[in-house]
Amino acid sequence: MASTFGNCSVLSSVVLLIMCICLTQWLLVFPVAKTIPNGFSVDLIHRDSPLSPLYSPLETPFVRFYNAYNRSISRINRFRPSYSEAVWSDIMASGGEYFMNISIGTPPVLVLGIADTGSDLTWVQCKPCEECYRQKPPLFDPMKSSTYKSVQCGSGPCNALDSSDRVCDQEQNTCKYSYSYGDRSFTRGNVALEKFTIGAANSTRIDSPVSFPNLVFGCGHKNGGTFDDVGSGIIGLGGGPLSLVKQLSKSIHGKFSYCLQAPDSAAKSSKLIFGTATDSNVVSTSTPLVDRDPSTYYYVTLEAISVGDKKLAYGRGSASSATEEGNIIIDSGTTLTFLESEFYNSLESALEEAIEAKRVSDPKGLLSPCFEADKDMDLPIITFHFSGADVKLQPWNTFAQVQDHMVCFTIVPSNDIAIFGNLSQMDFLVSYDLEERSVSFTPTDCPKNH
């Protein structure tokens, strides 16, 4: 089944929508929080939205899209295994697509960090700084917080770090961490416990914050590299034991979700939700999370992809080959979707058959296939067949207007890991259940319902 652009006015609306959804970094704004049943939430604001401190009115939507493309290519490198003798952590320092405001300490200090589903340990820059990159928010001073506690060597929180990432200060018996990133950025500091305050609680007051004592985090005293100056550090939302969602697991019953939408209005925002996002009457489709190393990433199994009614078995081998479990990562911090390159050739051929439009070349040589767009252009519905879950993507999830009268496919080939990126997740409530080990997709009008 195909979806048509229709007449010129509809084409203009779709072009604007497609261009908007391609501007793919967001900020979590702490003061704008709302109550929800059995949980709490914060707003997600697009990086290139007028609400964002990173917004540049001089950039065209096309420039923003290509910038997002380059960030995706940079970010996928963090998922690749490192064969160097040097120790690198699992994320690129500047590869995050979202920022999150939280408060740390007593009295609370507001800090802004990259919210990353591909990272575990939360860390922020701290006073005193041996070496710090420039940041606009105030630095956190642990000496002024009555709830700050050092973590001892050999303790549970210290041992939860990989042995290559932790260092013991024998003189003071304190646990320290040391991370280096793929772009040679770094952070080093103390592992500590602190009070975190996030979002709004389920109460009669919509502005009531919810606080959690004794959460493990890294207090970075030596940090440098390519971090944005609007941020204070990194907030880990991955699947490892020290991530924020894992540490909050009992309070949120192992559940968190987000609903991403096209930022076509400065008055609209997306949501990150801790706890239960919907009631049991909402129909969704669910696929199992697969346990693989590293535990940070959210692996699921992709069995096939359909272009319209044509179904293609996913994988490197023939259609009769067994599907590899956990063959794709769901990542809200990557813009584009990446698929195995051998399979991609079959997908590209199916697209050419389904789209009755002249094929053209992206002048930047980055995206393929691209097609000449006109008012009557039909684009196919593309369905991802995960294990137990069929996720039907609309054209705005899979195509982008990259120039006047040119649309390109926003799913690209990869010689390494496959990633289901955030363009493909827009206008779905994507819900993670870390206790049941599943992730669900609910088609949702995100601006209306969240």
Could you please report the per-residue DSSP string of 253-271? Answer: TTEEEEE-----STT--EE
pLDDT at 149: 97
Confidence check: pLDDT of 317 > 60: no
Average pLDDT (385-401) is 94
pLDDT at 24: 35
Kind and range of the H or E run holding 249: helix 249-252
* Beta strand residue intervals within 105-185, DSSP E: 109-116, 123-125, 149-150, 166-169, 174-180
* b/e code 194-216 from CB counts within 10 Å (16+ = b): bbbbbbbbeeeeeeebbebeebb
Identify which of 26, 15, 42 has the alpha carbon closest to the alpha carbon of residue 333.
26
So where are the chain's domains? 26-275, 282-449
pLDDT bucket at 85, cuts 50 / 70 / 90: very low
Whole-structure pTM value: 0.81
pLDDT at 265: 45
What pLDDT digit, counting tens, does each position of 32-80 carry? 333 334 676 665 555 556 655 665 767 666 666 767 766 676 666 656 5
pLDDT at 240: 92
Average pLDDT (318-342) is 83
Report the CATH superfamily, name and number, of domain 26-275: Acid Proteases (2.40.70.10)
pLDDT bucket at 210, cuts 50 / 70 / 90: confident
pLDDT at 447: 65
CATH code assigned to 282-449: 2.40.70.10
Confidence check: pLDDT of 30 > 50: no
What is the percent of the chain with per-residue pLDDT over 90, rounded to a whole number?
A: 44
Identify which of 139, 27, 80 has the alpha carbon closest to the alpha carbon of residue 418.
80
What pLDDT digit, counting tens, does each position of 39-50 carry? 766 655 555 566
Known catalytic residues are 116, 331
* 26-275 and 282-449 share one fold: yes
